[in-house]
Amino acid sequence: MPLYLVQHTHTAESCPTKNPEMVRQLSSHVTQSNASKYGVKILADWVYEPEHTVILVLEADSPEKATNFVLPFLNVGSITIRAGATCEDVAKMCLGK
């Protein structure tokens, strides 16, 4: 299944940690039980608040599903989404197995 690398950044001014309600919304959004409703599996969930950066690695069968899931982050900043694969998948393709 395709993997998607999602990078989200926001400014110190728009940081959701300033707003407890927004923290609650985003933290309840980024859970596997919620992601499953979007047809998405969360493989990695990494946040580095000093740089206001969130990295998610998602598995989904279409880019639309991955995009729909991360749309709430657009309310506070930007998102970029890149499609990719695992080392194992690439090796299988190369070796024709």
| Distance in Å, CB of 4 to Zn ion, minimum | 22
- 2 CB-near residues (< 8 Å, 6+ apart): 59, 60, 61, 62, 63, 83, 84, 85
| Distance in Å, CB of 45 to Zn ion, minimum | 15
Q: Do residues 2 and 61 lie in contact, with contact meaning Cβ atoms separated by under 8 Å?
A: yes
Pick between residue 52 and residue 73 the one whose CB is nearest to Zn ion.
Answer: 52
Which residue ranges make up the site for Zn ion (CB under 5 A)?
15, 52
Pick between residue 15 and residue 42 the one whose CB is nearest to Zn ion.
Answer: 15
**3-class SS at 2?**
coil
| Distance in Å, CB of 17 to Zn ion, minimum | 5
Pick between residue 3 and residue 52 the one whose CB is nearest to Zn ion.
Answer: 52
For 89, phi and psi rounded to 5 degrees? -65, -45
